[in-house]
Structure 1
Amino acid sequence: MASLGKNEDVLCTSDGIESVYNKLVAQEEEINNGLETLLSRQCHLEAKLRGITKVLPNLQIVHSDAQQLAEMITFTSTLAENVSSKVRQLDIARSRVSECQQRVHDLLDLQLCSDGVQTALRNEDFEKAAAHVHRFLSMDQHLLKQTADDVAEDCTSVTNSFSLLHEAATQLGAVVTQKFDEAVHADDLASVERFFKIFPLLGMQDEGLVRFSSYLCSKLKDTALKNLRLALETNTSDKRANVIYADTITLLFEGIARVIEIHQPLIETYYGPGRLLTVASYLQRECDRQSKRILAEFSKCRHLEKIVQQVNEYMRTNNVYSKPTDKLDPKELDLLLGELTIMHSRAELYVRFIRRRVMNDLEIGVPSGDTRTALVSELEAMLNGSELCHRMQELLSSYLLLERYFMEESVKKAVVMDSVEEGSHTSSMVDDVFFIVRKCIRRAGTSSSLDGVCAVINNACALLETDFCEVLRRQLRQGYPSGYLDLTQAYSVLHTSIQQGRLQASDSEQARLMFLTYLNNADASTEYTDTLRRSLMDEVPSVLTTMSENERVKLESCLSGLGSVAASLKAVIDYGMEQLRVIVIKPRVNPWVDTFLSVSHQLSEEDFANYEANEPFVQNLIMNLDGLLGLFRGSLTTSNYDTLVSILTAEVTAHLEKVVIKSTFNRLGGLVFDKEVRALVSYLTSTTSWSIRDKFARLTQMATVLNLERVTEISDYWGSNSGPLTWRLTPADIRQVMTLRTDFRSDDIKRLKL
C-alpha cells in the first residue's frame, strides 16, 4: 500500500490501477510458490534436526577427548623442549671439550713438531721433517697463542716453537728445492719424484708443479730433438722414409700422452684433483716449440712451400685443360698428401686426448660453477690458441690446395689417356676418374678433419659436375653420324687400330663408337656417383668417430652435392638420347610407320584371311625395328638401351597414331589393327626390362573403338571403367576415331553421350 501511495498519479486511471493490481497478483503468486517450496522441504529439515539431536551427546564426548589430547600434547611438548634444551647444552659442552682437546693436542703436537723437525733435518729425513712442518702449518697459530696465555699465562715456549718451525719450514723449502734441482741435473727420476711429493707438504704446491713441469718439458725436449735427428739421418731407402716426419711428430704426441698417463695419479694423490691443467699448459708450450721445429724441417725437406707456391701459380694462370710446360706431376704429390693427412690426424688425436684428460680431472676436483667454467675456458683457449693448432690449420690449408690440384690433374690425365677396350661398354676414364675421386675423399677422411673432408667433397662435386660432364657433353655434341653400321665390328676395328698404332676404321665408325661409349660413360658415372654417396655416408662417420649431430648434418649437406652431379649426368644422357632420337630413330621410324597408309584396312573375308596369314605391315615394322635395335643392343648399357627402347616406343606410337587418323577401317580392318597393335606391344615388351604398355594406352584404346560392332557398344566400355579418367582418349577423340569406320553412321556417332 506504501507503493500505492507513492504512485497516486498512476492510480488516477483505470489502466494504472489494473497494472498495479497485476503486479500485486504476481507478487502474491511468487510468495505462495516460496511457501510451498519451504513446506515441501519440511520433512527433510525435520529429519536433519532429529539426526543433529542424536549426535549432540557424541559431540560432548569428542569435545572432552579433544581437550584431554590437547593437554597431553602440551605436556609432551614442554617435556621435549626441556630435554632438547639439555641436549643442546650437552652438545655445546661436548663441542667446547672437543675444541679444548684439539687445542691441547695442537700444543702437544707443536712441541713434538718443534723437536722432531730438527732431528729429521739432521738425519736428512726430509719426508718426516716435511710432515712435521705440514702439521704445524695446519694449526691455528692465533688460537694456540691464546690457549697458551690462558693456561700458563706465559706463551714464550709457544712463540719459540713458532719461530723454530717457521725457520725450519724456510730451511726445509730451500733444501728440498736444492735437492730437487740436483736430482733433475743428475737425471734421477726417483729422487725427482721423491722431492716433488714434499713440496705440497710445505705449502709450495705451485712451485712444485712449475718445477716438475719444467723437468718433464726438458725430458720431452731431449727426446724430441733425438727423434728429429734420427729422422734427418734416415736413409731414403728406408720403408718409413716417406712418412718419417709424421712418425716424428707422432712420437712427440705419444711422449706427452705417456707423461700424462704416468704422472697424473702422482699429481692427483699429492696435489689433489684439478691441478693437471697447470702441468698440461707447460707441456703444451713445449709441444708448440718442438712441433714447430719438426714442421719446419718437414717443410724444408719436402719443399712444401715451393710446391704450394708452384701449384698456386699454376692454378691461378692456367685453365683446367691447358697444357703448361712447368707443372708438377700429380703422382709426385701422392706420398706428400698421405704424410700431411697423417700429421693432421695425429694432432687432432693428441688434442682430443689432452682435452678429455683435463676435463675429467676438473670434473673430479673442481665443483661446477664459475670456477670450473673459467678453467674450461682457459683449457680451450690454451688448445685452440696454441702454436700447434695454428700450424695444423696452415698444414690443412696446404693439404686442401694440393689435394685439389692432385684430383684435377689426375682426372685430366685420365681423360687424356682414355681408351676403349673391346667388349666394354665404357671407356677407361670412368673407372679412373671415380677411383681418383674416391681415393682423394677417403684420404681427406684420414685427416680427422670434417672441414677438410667437406672441402674435398665440394671440390670433387665441382670437378665432376663441370669439367667431367663437359668432357662427356663435348663428345656427344659432335653428334651421331647417320647411316647403318655394325657397331660390334667397329669396336673390333678400333681396338685393332689402337693396338697397331694406325687408324683403320673410318671417321664415321669411330664417331659412332665414341658417341655410344661416352653415352654409356654418363650412365655408368650416374651409378658410380650414387654408390659413392652411399658409401661415404657410412665410411666418413666411422673414421671421424666423434661426430656430433650438427656435424653429421653438415656432412649430409656436402654429400647432397653428389645428387647435383647425378642430375647433371642425367642431363648429359638426355642430351645424347635426344640426338639418337632425332638422327637415328625418327628418320627411320617415320617412313616405316607411313607404310601403314599403303595397306588397306577395309577388308573382305578373303582379304582378312590373307592378311591374318601374312601380316605384311606389322611384320615388316617389327623386322625393321629389330634391325635398328640390334645395332645398339650389344653397344649400350642396360639402362641406356632400355631408355632407347622407351624413346623408340614413344616415337612409334606417336607417329602410328597420326597415320591411323588418316586411314579408314571396316569391322575386319579394325580387328586386324587390334592384332597389329598387340603384336607390336608384345615385341617391344620383349626387348626391354621396363614397362612400356602405358605408352600404347591410346593406340590400344583406338583399336578397341575401331573393333566395335555397333556405335552404342562404346557405352559399355566407357561406363564399365568408372568414368573417363581411366581413358587416355577424350570423348572428342573417341568420336574422331569412330568416324574412321566407314560402316558407322555419323548421326549415330553424334548422338553418343560420353
Structure 2
Amino acid sequence: MSTNHSSVKILNENVDQLTKYEDMVKAYEDLTIEEGCTEVQLRPRPKSGFFFKSGPGRIWWPDLGPDLVAGFRAGFKRLSTFKNQRVDAELDELLKSRNELEAKMQSLHPILPGLQAVENDSKQLSDMITFTSSLAENVSSKVRQLDLAKNRVMLCLQRVEDILDLKFCTDGVQTALHDEDYEKAAAHIHRFLTLDEDILRMSADANEGSTLDTSFKLLHEAQTKLKSIVHGKFDSAVRSGDVASVERFFKTFPLIGENEAGLVKFSKYLCSQLSDVTEKKVTQALQTAPSDKRYNVIFSDAATILFEDVARAVEIHQPLVETYYGHGLLLTLVRHLQNECDRQVRRIVCQFKDTRNFDKKIQLIQQQQNAFQKQVNERVEPREADVLLAEVAIFSTRTELYMRFLRRRCFNDLEVAFQDEEVLKNKKAEVDQLLNGCELSTFIQEFIGGYITMEEYFMKQMVAKAISMDQRALSSSNVDCVCAMLNHACALLERDYADVLFSRLRAGYTTGFDSIAQAYNLVQSTLVAGRGINTDAETEKAKALFLAALNNVEVSIENTQTLKSNVQLEINTLYANSCLNDLNQVTNRLKEISTFGFNQLIANSIRQRIKPLIDSFSSVNHNLTEEEFSQYEASDPWVQNLICNIDNLLVTFRTSLTPSNYDQFVSHLSNEVTALLEKVVLKTTFNRLGGLQFDKEIRSLVGYLTSTTTWTIRDKFARLNQMATILNLEKVAEVLDYWGGNSGPLTWRLTPADVRHVLSLRYDFKSDDIKRLKL
C-alpha cells in the first residue's frame, strides 16, 4: 500500500514537471529548428511516446519511460540551443554591417552643426510663408469684394444707360416717324429690341414704373406701325420698279426684327425681275432663225443666259445680304432663286423636246438597238444625233458650272456663320439636298440618260462608217489617188495633229505655283472676288491633260508606223513608196514631240523633287570608321530614303502612262538621277570604307531601278560604278590594274582627268601619288 502511494506521488510529480516543460515548449512555437521549419509543437502520442510537429514533417521523440523528466530537460536544452543559434546568426548579420553603419555615422558628423541653422531657417521660412499667405488672403478677399462692387456698379451704369436709351428711343422714334425718316426710326426700334424689358422693369422703382410702362407701350406701338409702313413701302417700290427704294427698305427689315420676312420679300422681288428679264432673253434666243450659226445650240444658249442671270443676282446681292442680315442666310435667297430657275428651265426643256424631237429620236434609237424589234422604217441620221449630242453636252456643262457656283457660294457663307462642325455639316446637307433635288437636276439626269443612249448609237454608226471607208481609197485602184490621200494624211498629222499635241505638252506638267508671288497674287484675286481658291482640281486636270497628250504621242507613233506597214503590203510602187516616206517624217516629228514632253516633265516636276534627295548625299559622312560602317549596313542613312521617294514618285505615273511611255519615263528619270548624283559625289570626300559604302549604295539604286522597268538601266550608271570602283582601291597604283591594257572587257567612261579627280576625293591618297600616275 505504501509502495503504491509512493508511486502515485512520483507520478504526480512527473505530471507536474511534464506540464511545466510543456508550457515552456509552447513558448517556443515560433522557433525555427531547421530550414523550412516554421512551427514547433510538443504533444503526446498515445501509448507510444511523443513527437514534434514541424510544418509538414514530424520529428520523432521516443517514449522515455520512467526517465520522462530527463527527456523533457534534454528536449528543452535542444530547443534553447536552436534559439541561441538563431540569435547568434542575427547578431553576426548585424555585425557584418557595422563598418558600413559606422562610416555612414561618420559622414553625418559634419552635417550635424548645420542642422540647427537649417531648423532655424525652416522655422523662419514657415513663419514668412504663413504671414504672406495670410496677407494674400486678406488682399484677395478685398480684391474680390472690390471686383464684386465694380461689377455691380457696371450693372447699375448699364441699367442707367438702358433707361436713358429707352427714353431716347421713345422720343426719337416718334420724331423720326413724323419726319418719315424710317431708317432712323428703325434704328431706334433696333436699339429698343436689344434691351431686356423684364430686367428694366425689375430694376425700376415704384415711381418710375408708370413711366417705363408708357415708354414700352409707345415703342411697341411704334414697332407695329413701322413694320406696316416698311412692308407697304417695299411693296409699293416693287410695283413701281423703284430699285433704290427696294434696297432701302430691304436694309430696314432686320432693324425691326423682320429678317425672314425681308429675305422672302426681296427674294420674290429678285425672282420677278429674273423672270421678266430672262424670259425676254430666252424668247429672243428661241426665235433664232435656222440659218443662224447658233441655231443648233439655241436651247443651251438660252439655259446659259438663265444660269448667268441667276448667278449674277447671287453675286451682286450676296454682300448686301451678308452686311445687313448676317452670314448663314444666303441659302434662303438661293432657294427662292432656284425655284424660279426651275420654272424657266422647265419651259426651255419642253421647247427643246418639242423642237428637236428629242424623245422621239431616243425612242427610235432604242427600237433600232433592240434585236427583237422588227425593222423600223424611220431611223435617226448620225448627223442629227451629232447635233443633239453637242447641244446636250453643252447644256450639261453649263448646268454643272452653275451648280458648282451656287454650292461654293453657299458653303463659303455657311463656313463663316457656323463654327460647330455638326451644325455646319447639317447646313451643307441642306444645300446639297436643295441642289440635288431641284427640277434642274432632274432634267439633267433625264438628258444624260438619253445622251448615253444616243452617244452609244452614234459611236456604233461612226465605227461602221469608218470600217466601210477603211479601204475606199485603195479600192479605187488609182495610184495617184492613193498618193494624194497619203499626202493629205501626212500634212494633217504633221501640221494640225502634231501641233495640237505639242501645244499641250508645251504648257508643262503643272505641280503648283511657280513662285511665291504667283501664289500671293492668286490669293489676293480670289479674296477680292469673294471666291474660294480651287487650284487643286485645275492642277490635277492640267496634269491629266499633259500625261494624256504624252500617251497620245506614243500611240500615234505606233499607229503611224502600222499605217505605213499596212499600206506597203497593198502598194509596192516607187511613187507610192516616196509618199510613204512622208509618214517617216511624221513619225520623226512625233518622236521629237515625245522627247520634248519628257523633257518638260523632268524639268517641271521631277527635277525639283529629286534634286533635294540627291543633294542630301553630301550631308552623309563617307569617312567611316568600322563601327559607323556597321551601322550604315544595318540602317542606311541615304539610299533607302532615296529609293522610297523614287518609288512613291513612280507610283503616280505607273497607272497614268502607257507601258512604253512608263519605261521611257524611268529611263529619263535614271539619266536625271545619275547626272545630279555625279555632281554631288565629286564634291564629297571618302575613305576606303566610305568608298565601299558608296559602292553598296550604287548597287542598291541600280537594282531597284532595274526592277521597275523592262529597259536596261545599268549602262546609265556606268560612270558612277567606275567611280565607286576607284574609291574602293587600297592604293593609288591599283588603278593601273583596271586601266589601259588591263581593263579587259571593261570600257572606261571616265577620262584620265576624271580618274585623277575621283582619286583626289580619297582624303587618304596623296596628291603626289595621283600626279605620278601614267594614264
Match of 1:332 among 384, 405, 410: 384
Instruction: State the Cα deviation string for residues 388-409 of structure 1 (Å, max 9, x = none).
Output: 1111111111111111110001
Secondary structure of the residue aligned to 2:111 is helix
In 2, Cα distance between equivalents of 1:489 and 1:104: 106
* Mapped contact 1:120–1:128 kept (Cα < 8 A): yes
What amino acid is aligned across from residue 214 of structure 2 in structure 1? N
Instruction: State the Cα deviation string for residues 516-573 of structure 1 (Å, max 9, x = none).
Output: xxxxxxxx9xx9xxx9xx99xx9xxxxxxxxxxxxxxxx999999x99xxxxxxxxxx
* Aligned residues between the structures: 452
Please state if 1:344 is matched with 2:396: yes
Residues 1:25 and 1:196: Cα distance change in structure 2 (over 3 Å): same
Secondary structure of the residue aligned to 2:110 is helix
Please state if 1:135 is matched with 2:187: no
In 1, Cα distance between equivalents of 2:568 and 2:210: 118
Residues 1:556 and 1:278: Cα distance change in structure 2 (over 3 Å): farther
Corresponding residue number in structure 2 for 1:175: 229
Please state if 1:95 is matched with 2:147: no
Match of 1:220 among 250, 274, 285: 274
What amino acid is aligned across from residue 438 of structure 2 in structure 1? S
Match of 1:251 among 287, 305, 313: 305
Cα displacement (A) at 1:35: 6.9
Cα displacement (A) at 1:199: 0.4
What amino acid is aligned across from residue 408 of structure 1 in structure 2? K
In 1, Cα distance between equivalents of 2:246 and 2:415: 28
* Superposition map of 1:612-691 within 5 A: none
Higher relative contact order (CA closer than 8 Å, sequence separation 6+):
1
Residues 1:146 and 1:331: Cα distance change in structure 2 (over 3 Å): same
What amino acid is aligned across from residue 118 of structure 2 in structure 1? V
Match of 1:197 among 248, 251, 259: 251
Cα displacement (A) at 1:54: 2.6
Corresponding residue number in structure 2 for 1:364: 416
* Superposition map of 1:69-468 within 5 A: 69-148=125-204, 150=205, 153-317=207-371, 326-419=378-471, 421=474
Question: TM-score, with normalisation over the residues of structure 1?
Answer: 0.53
In 2, Cα distance between equivalents of 1:104 and 1:487: 104
What amino acid is aligned across from residue 68 of structure 1 in structure 2? Q
* Mapped contact 2:33–2:82 kept (Cα < 8 A): no
In 2, Cα distance between equivalents of 1:559 and 1:312: 35
Secondary structure of the residue aligned to 1:9 is strand
Instruction: State the Cα deviation string for residues 400-450 of structure 1 (Å, max 9, x = none).
Output: 1111110001101111222154689x999x999xx9xx9xxxxxxxxx9x9
Residues 1:39 and 1:427: Cα distance change in structure 2 (over 3 Å): farther
Cα displacement (A) at 1:118: 1.4
In 2, Cα distance between equivalents of 1:235 and 1:492: 53
Residues 1:557 and 1:122: Cα distance change in structure 2 (over 3 Å): farther
* Mapped contact 1:418–1:427 kept (Cα < 8 A): no
Cα displacement (A) at 1:106: 1.8
Please state if 1:9 is matched with 2:60: yes
Residues 1:220 and 1:117: Cα distance change in structure 2 (over 3 Å): same
* Mapped contact 1:318–1:324 kept (Cα < 8 A): no
* Mapped contact 2:233–2:249 kept (Cα < 8 A): yes
Residues 1:347 and 1:273: Cα distance change in structure 2 (over 3 Å): same
Residues 1:557 and 1:333: Cα distance change in structure 2 (over 3 Å): farther
Residues 1:559 and 1:392: Cα distance change in structure 2 (over 3 Å): farther
In 2, Cα distance between equivalents of 1:64 and 1:53: 19
* Mapped contact 2:162–2:195 kept (Cα < 8 A): yes
* Mapped contact 1:234–1:241 kept (Cα < 8 A): yes
In 1, Cα distance between equivalents of 2:115 and 2:486: 108
* Mapped contact 1:288–1:386 kept (Cα < 8 A): yes
Q: Which moved more, 1:279-288 or 1:325-334?
A: 325-334
In 1, Cα distance between equivalents of 2:326 and 2:381: 57
What amino acid is aligned across from residue 199 of structure 1 in structure 2? F
Match of 1:50 among 75, 93, 106: 106
Flag structure 2 segments of 5+ consecutive residues without an equivalent: 1-30, 35-50, 53-57, 64-78, 501-537, 541-561, 577-586, 602-651, 660-710, 713-775
* Mapped contact 1:184–1:215 kept (Cα < 8 A): yes
What amino acid is aligned across from residue 342 of structure 2 in structure 1? D
What amino acid is aligned across from residue 366 of structure 1 in structure 2? F
Instruction: State the Cα deviation string for residues 305-350 of structure 1 (Å, max 9, x = none).
Output: 111111111111379xx99763222122212211111111111111
Cα displacement (A) at 1:44: 2.5
In 1, Cα distance between equivalents of 2:99 and 2:281: 111
Instruction: State the Cα deviation string for residues 19-54 of structure 1 (Å, max 9, x = none).
Output: xxxx99999999999877655543332111111233
* Mapped contact 1:113–1:132 kept (Cα < 8 A): yes
Instruction: State the Cα deviation string for residues 564-589 of structure 1 (Å, max 9, x = none).
Output: xxxxxxxxxxxxxxxxxxxxxxxxxx
Question: TM-score, with normalisation over the residues of structure 2?
Answer: 0.52
What amino acid is aligned across from residue 193 of structure 1 in structure 2? E
In 2, Cα distance between equivalents of 1:221 and 1:32: 115
* Mapped contact 2:274–2:309 kept (Cα < 8 A): yes
* Mapped contact 1:117–1:168 kept (Cα < 8 A): yes
In 1, Cα distance between equivalents of 2:137 and 2:428: 51
What amino acid is aligned across from residue 357 of structure 1 in structure 2? R
Residues 1:50 and 1:416: Cα distance change in structure 2 (over 3 Å): same
What amino acid is aligned across from residue 396 of structure 1 in structure 2? I
In 1, Cα distance between equivalents of 2:653 and 2:376: 37
In 2, Cα distance between equivalents of 1:489 and 1:340: 43
Flag structure 1 segments of 5+ consecutive residues without an equivalent: 13-22, 439-447, 451-471, 473-485, 496-523, 539-554, 564-689, 692-754
* Mapped contact 1:130–1:172 kept (Cα < 8 A): yes
* Mapped contact 2:32–2:83 kept (Cα < 8 A): no
In 1, Cα distance between equivalents of 2:164 and 2:81: 109
Corresponding residue number in structure 2 for 1:699: none
* Superposition map of 1:462-477 within 5 A: none
In 2, Cα distance between equivalents of 1:390 and 1:556: 38
Secondary structure of the residue aligned to 1:197 is helix
What amino acid is aligned across from residue 349 of structure 2 in structure 1? L
In 1, Cα distance between equivalents of 2:285 and 2:451: 22
Q: Which moved more, 1:255-264 or 1:125-134?
A: 255-264
What amino acid is aligned across from residue 362 of structure 2 in structure 1? V
Instruction: State the Cα deviation string for residues 667-718 of structure 1 (Å, max 9, x = none).
Output: xxxxxxxxxxxxxxxxxxxxxxx99xxxxxxxxxxxxxxxxxxxxxxxxxxx
What amino acid is aligned across from residue 131 of structure 1 in structure 2? A
Secondary structure of the residue aligned to 2:470 is coil
Corresponding residue number in structure 2 for 1:710: none
In 2, Cα distance between equivalents of 1:201 and 1:122: 18
Corresponding residue number in structure 2 for 1:584: none
What amino acid is aligned across from residue 359 of structure 1 in structure 2? F
Cα displacement (A) at 1:128: 0.3
* Mapped contact 2:368–2:375 kept (Cα < 8 A): no
Q: Which moved more, 1:126-135 or 1:106-115?
A: 106-115
Corresponding residue number in structure 2 for 1:660: none
* Mapped contact 1:337–1:399 kept (Cα < 8 A): yes
Cα displacement (A) at 1:224: 2.0
What amino acid is aligned across from residue 46 of structure 1 in structure 2? E
